[in-house]
Structure 1
Amino acid sequence: MSSSDSIHQIIDQLKGGIVVSVQADGGEPLNNPDTLTAMACSALDGGAVGIRMAQVENIRRFKAACPSIPVIGIIKPIKIPENAKELVYITPTWQDVAALCNAKCEIVAIDATSRPRPGSQKLAVIVAEARKNYPDVCLMADISTTQEAEGAEALGFDFISTTLSGYTIETSETAPEGPDFDLLKTLTSTLSTPIILEGRIWHPTEVCKAFELGAHAVVIGSAVTRPHHITRRFVEAAYH
């Protein structure tokens, strides 16, 4: 199978499906490879078509259990920094991309915002190196604005995701409390790259709306795999 065929196969595998983001931060009780793998396998039992997962150790453990399932891999800090809105922290460097490719991720997600990268690495150079060294691996651009998405398409990313809408200085005060459907609608109507909706999705009706607006796939995280966030929503409803 050629590199082009391999990438198109992965794109087709995600089309119209739900990807579940299985992650835990820092000292959270669920933050170990075996537990995260078990959660991911449970999500697959529910019909997920792929898994988004952070850190090489966790990804290797999951791929050992489910080698045929597409993984969107990222590397990020164990503890998200307080000034995260100012920083590129999702797969920021070429070295991170290479590590995820070597862990057999089918898709590597990269922060493609306009913020400066560590070590002054350039996004275009990272993409070029990935294409040269790992031509079978799909690249996903995590963006926050239309302009960033347009830049990502120009660089040849295979997917563009709304992951960072609301999580950058530029968008933190303008993004909606829920999914950024306006951004999704703009991207699906103006770009040819498959668009993924990710971020603040809590209800099945939001998934239906995403597909009505042309989303290629939807990534759901906290609503499925973060028990403390789920519990907090019920607790806040009970006491307010």
Structure 2
Amino acid sequence: MTTSKSMLHTDRKRIVIKLGGSMLEGLQSGFFKKFQEMQSEGKEIVIVHGGGPSINAALQKNAIESNIINGIRVTCERSISIVKDVLIGDVNPSLVHQLNGADIHAVGLSGFDGKLLTCTLLDEENYGFVGDIQAVNDGLLEKLFAAGIVPVISCIGATECGKPLNINADTVASKVALAIGATSLVFVSDTPGIKIGNEIQTAVSPGDIVNWIEAGDIYGGMIPKVHAAMDCLDAGVPSVQIVDQHLAGTTIGLEEVFS
């Protein structure tokens, strides 16, 4: 169980794909075809997903206000139960069903399953029941890889005593990528990469990102994505992509990646 740089499995071709909640009901056949192509090339793939639109609808139905701070959903005691039920009981099985229907063998997981995501509270005063991942059970994922099964992970973690915690899905994807030694982390959303001055940037460095954040050109929900990307680069993941469903967008890498 580790997220240590020294334990990266550099001999494996592994990819973590994070699907934004807005993408989950509109996945097209081209996505599944590309997925199968990557599998046929010997790549082992993990999917991590959010569920923002479904969570928003459920919270609104229950008259619970939803606030986002720095891309992180503030999760009160009432809302954590709803978030858990939506992600584990609705969004995750629906996505697994789509994958299985495309002849991609997949199984749904949350942080509760096999102690996959062990967490503490990130910052209870500011964010409520939001988790900070302390450990990823990569051994469980290794067993699924060996069986030819795609893990599909919802962004719900658990404390040591079993209390559910909401986690930003970009952060989950980053931590899982580090734990399994992924060669690439791919964020798939309806935002086709980093846009600066109305232009998508196809190849950027961490230095570019720092400057753009300071200038206010990168903000909101893109901030957790780029922070997760830079954490992965620091730990040894060669590159991170922020792309649309056609898997085209921005590649983030160290300077030498593009030289």
Query: TM-score normalized by structure 1?
Result: 0.35
**Structure with greater strand percent:** 2
TM-score by length of 2: 0.33
Flag the structure with more relative contact order, 1 or 2, with Cα contacts below 8 A and sequence separation at least 6. Answer: 2
